[in-house]
Structure 1
């Protein structure tokens, strides 16, 4: 219930903040992500893994100046693999989140058919699993804060193709107390960064 209320508060705030003169479009966004867990140091390493995301999106653009705001409510499926140098320890996990990215977007027209844009802004993510991962070694955070930087093209006012880099701020998960199983050589926490390719259709 607390996660749901947080999501609703963010969406209401966005609606109130949109200028009265803005042109508002609704749409659907979907795409692929490549996630890597960033380990500060230690005997563990992480490999890139591919997942997906999908959900509704809304965009408000101020006419003439090309400046706007977009927000999405996305189901995000991430995959992470962690292993040690010897190959004796190796686990893959699927992580499920509700993501709310909120981006300031600037668009530059290339004629009546197309435009390019750059975008940046915060993202709020809520863990749907609420579980330990990697054989109970790490405990996921219930929510995460990250930052997006992206760019893309708009075609025919309806289709958008974009690239986004999501930078984790803070920890994604922390290690559990395993006694002698994992010693000081191993990371006590990690955070994840994600490359995303998206396709958006605006109605």
Structure 2
């Protein structure tokens, strides 16, 4: 309980310390991702597959410092395919919540360049991957990216998403492997 109260107090103090000129923008973000599965065993190999994501986002920036936070709730469909035993394709449907810390360098009021990094929490909408593999309900990954802000409303970004936790754990006939997903993502966001 003390940790919860301490955390809430810290959040309130940070909120009060934010300058009055801080900018909060809501928007819509979408894009494509090219995902590749990795396995803890050499018996299976993952292929690259293309998917998409779309959803609302919130962009919060302190203008003078250029530091901000980008949060989104994205519906995502990623294509998954493993060679060998599971040669058929599967679509992983999930709700992804990236929370990225952004550092923006403004090149005037119409152009800015940013670097972003942070965790991403994925909540699977699939019960199973393929016919016999149960999907984990929650997965964590790490985003690293960069992008461009144009005319104060558009953002074009590229980031690499590194799977930090397992999507599934396969145990069958003396064979065991963990499945993780890494992805390259290209996004376009419009801020209101």
TM class, shorter-length: 0.7 to 0.9
User: Residue in 1 aligned with 2:129?
Assistant: 133
Distance 2:153 2:107 in 1: 15
Matches within 5 A, 1:131-170: 131-136=127-132, 138-170=133-165
Q: Deviations over 1:142-183 (max 9, x none)?
A: 00111110000000000000001111112111114x3x4xx4
Cα 1:148–1:16 change in 2 (3 A) is farther
- Dislocated runs of 4+, deviation >4 Å: 14-18
Name stretches of at least 5 consecutive residues in structure 2 with no aligned partner: 1-10
Cα 1:89–1:99 change in 2 (3 A) is closer
State the TM-score, normalized to the length of structure 1.
Answer: 0.82
Q: How many residues align?
A: 180
SS of equivalent residue, structure 2 residue 109: coil
Q: Does 1:173 align with 2:141?
A: no
Name stretches of at least 5 consecutive residues in structure 1 with no aligned partner: 1-13
State the TM-score, normalized to the length of structure 2.
Answer: 0.87
* 1:17, distance to aligned residue in structure 2 (A): 6.2
Which of 180, 183, 192 is equivalent to 1:194? 183
User: Residue in 2 aligned with 1:50?
Assistant: 50
User: Residue in 2 aligned with 1:3?
Assistant: none
Cα 1:69–1:89 change in 2 (3 A) is closer
* 1:200, distance to aligned residue in structure 2 (A): 0.3
Cα 1:89–1:38 change in 2 (3 A) is closer
* 1:40, distance to aligned residue in structure 2 (A): 2.4
Q: Deviations over 1:47-92 (max 9, x none)?
A: 00000000000011112111111100100111100111xxx65121
